[in-house]
Copies of this chain bind each other. A is one copy, B any other.
Amino acid sequence: MEDEVDRLVAAWRRERPDLDVEPLEVLSRVSRLARHLDRARRIAFAEHQLEPWEFDVLTALRRAGTPYQLSPGQLLTQTLVTSGTMTNRIDRLAKKGLVERLPDPSDRRGVLVRLTDTGRDRADESLAGLLAQERAILGELSRAQRAELAGLLRQLTAPFDNIPG
């Protein structure tokens, strides 16, 4: 089955036969697939009255385990946004009653963001929904193919995640 990137690559080969555009076969697919996933996630989360960014923050806290709290700084590295954005997100989640801010007892500069009980339930419900949707998208692939794909992608993400930057 052909996809939009096949057409894109074919067009480049016609217009710029002097260039080797093979890298696009991988990385353009990654970017485009990510945009499709964003849209699909947005729809899936709407059932739980959550925006994708809310899900990202709530589940980061949920994964931290009891007592479900992290500093804004820790949330930054997990969600790949800037500090100004995170302040804003915490404000809005706090206003909805899904998280609360607590002073960090060991560092008065710091803040701890803690999941409320409602926030915890919301995170759990919407994770289940997300997994169901993702399983449908991955239905195209066998279990072995999924493992293969995960391994190859890890080789690309690891440098970004480990070398700071």
A residues whose Cβ falls under 8 Å from a Cβ of B: 1-6, 8, 11-12, 14-16, 19-27, 29-38, 62-65, 78, 80, 124, 127-128, 131, 134-135, 137-138, 140-141, 145-150, 152-162
Contacts and interface: CB of A to CB of B under 8 A. Distances in A.
B26 A157 contact: no
A35 B150 contact: no
A153 to B, nearest CB: 4
Contacts of A65: 11, 14-15
Given A11-B63, A15-B62, A15-B65, A157 B33 contact: yes
Given A26-B150, A27-B37, A27-B137, 15 more contacts: A1-B155, A1-B162, A2-B162, A5-B154, A8-B63, A20-B131, A22-B146, A23-B137, A30-B37, A32-B157, A34-B34, A35-B80, A36-B157, A148-B148, A152-B152
Given A26-B146, A26-B149, A37-B30, A124 B16 contact: yes
A109 B124 CA distance: 49
A146 B23 CA distance: 8
Candidate in A33, A35, A134, A155 with the most chain B CB atoms within 10 angstroms:
A33
